Chains A and B, each alone.
Chain A
Amino acid sequence: MIPFEYRRADDVSAAVDTVARNPTASFLGGGTNLVDHLKLGVATPEHLVDVSRLPLDDIEPGPDGGLRIGATARNSDTAADPDVRSRYPVLAEALLSGASGQLRNLATVGGNLLQRTRCAYFQDVTTPCNKREPGTGCSALEGYQRYHAILGASRHCVATHPSDMAVAMVALDATVHVQGPNGSRSLPAEELHRLPGDEPERDTVLEHGELITAVELPPLPFAANSAYRKVRDRASYAFALVSVAAALDVDDAGTVRDVRIAFGGLAHKPWRAHRAEAALRGGPATDDRAARAAEAELENAEPLAGNAFKIPMARGALTATLRRLSPLPTTR
Chain B
Amino acid sequence: MTRSIERVAAVGTAPERVDGRAKVAGKAPYAYEHPVERPAYAHPIQATIAAGRVRGIDTARALAVDGVHTVLTPDNAPPLRRGQDAELEILQAPDVAFRGQIIGCVVADTPEAARHAADLVAVDYERRDHDVTLASDRPDLYRPGEVSHEADTEDGDVDAALAGAAARVEAEYRTARNHNNPLEPHTTVAVWDADGLTLYDSTQGVHSLRSAVAEVFDLDESRIRVLAPYVGGGFGSKGTAHAHVVLAALAAKRMSGRPVKLALTRQQTFTLAGYRTPTVQRVALGADTDGRIDALAVDVVEQTSRVKAFAEQTALPSRTMYAAPHRRTTHRMAALDVPVTSWMRAPGVCPGMFGPEVAMDELAERCGLDPIELRLRNEPDRDPETGKPYSTRNLAECLRGGARRFGWDARPAAPRQTRQGEWWIGTGVASSTYPVHHAPGSAARIERRADGRYHVGVGAVDIGTGAWTVLGQIAADALGVDREDVVVTVGDTALPFASVAGGSSGTTNWGSAIVAAAHGFRARFGDDDPPAGSEHTESAPENPDTERFAMHAFGAQFAEVHVSADTGEIRVPRLLGVFAAGRIVNPRLARSQFLGGMTMGLSMALHEEGVMDERLGMVVNHDLAEYHVATNADVPSVEAEWIDEHDPHVNPMGTKGIGEIGIVGTAAAVANAAYHATGVRVRELPVTADRFLTA
Contact = CB atoms under 8 A, between A and B. Distances in A.
Interface of A: 1-3, 39, 41, 118, 120-121, 123-124, 126-127, 139, 142-144, 146, 229, 231-239, 241-242, 308-309, 311-313, 316-317, 319-320, 323
Interface stretch (B52-60, B307-315, B565-573, B646-654): B565-573
Given A126-B48, A144-B611, A312-B695, A120 B620 contact: yes
Given A120-B611, A139-B613, A317-B566, 10 more contacts: A118-B626, A124-B620, A143-B620, A231-B567, A233-B688, A234-B631, A235-B634, A309-B568, A312-B694, A312-B695
B329 interface: no
A320 B566 CA distance: 6
14 contacts: A39-B115, A41-B119, A118-B625, A120-B626, A144-B611, A233-B606, A234-B631, A235-B571, A235-B634, A236-B634, A238-B628, A312-B568, A312-B695, A319-B566
A39 B616 CA distance: 22
Interface string B468-486: 0000000000000000000
A320 B423 CA distance: 11
Contacts of B414: none
A118 B571 CA distance: 24
Interface string B410-421: 000000000000
B689 A2 contact: no
A1 B565 CA distance: 45
Interface of B: 48, 112, 115-116, 119, 422, 564-569, 571, 606-607, 611, 613, 615-616, 618, 620-623, 625-626, 628, 630-634, 688-690, 693-695
Contacts of A121: 620
A309 B116 CA distance: 40
Contacts of B565: 316
A317 B694 CA distance: 14
Contacts of B422: 320, 323
A3 B115 CA distance: 11
A84 B355 CA distance: 49
A234 B690 contact: no
Contacts of A233: 606-607, 628, 688-689
A2 B48 CA distance: 20
Q: Nearest 5 CB-CB pairs, A to B?
A: A316-B566, A309-B690, A235-B633, A236-B633, A320-B566
Contact of A320 (B564, B628, B632, B688): B564
A296 to B, nearest CB: 16
A316 B628 CA distance: 23
A41 B568 CA distance: 36
B566 A144 contact: no
Given A235-B631, A309-B568, A320-B567, A144 B606 contact: no
Contacts of B630: 234
A232 B565 CA distance: 14
B621 A144 contact: yes
Contacts of B569: 231-232
Contacts of B694: 312
Given A234-B607, A235-B633, A313 B690 contact: yes
Contacts of A126: 48, 618
Contacts of B615: 139, 142-143
Nearest to A287: B566
A1 B112 CA distance: 7
Given A139-B616, A235-B634, A319-B566, A312 B628 contact: no
Nearest to B612: A144
A1 B567 CA distance: 40
B319 to A, nearest CB: 34
A229 B695 CA distance: 20
A331 to B, nearest CB: 14
B631 A236 contact: yes
A316 B693 contact: yes
B613 A143 contact: yes
Contact of A144 (B564, B620, B631, B634): B620
B613 A144 contact: yes
B379 to A, nearest CB: 37
Contacts of B688: 233
Contacts of A146: 611
Nearest to A316: B566
Nearest to B634: A235
Nearest to A239: B625
A120 B609 CA distance: 14
A118 B611 CA distance: 15
Given A120-B626, A143-B613, A238-B628, A309 B607 contact: no
A274 B611 CA distance: 35
A232 B570 CA distance: 9
A242 B695 contact: no
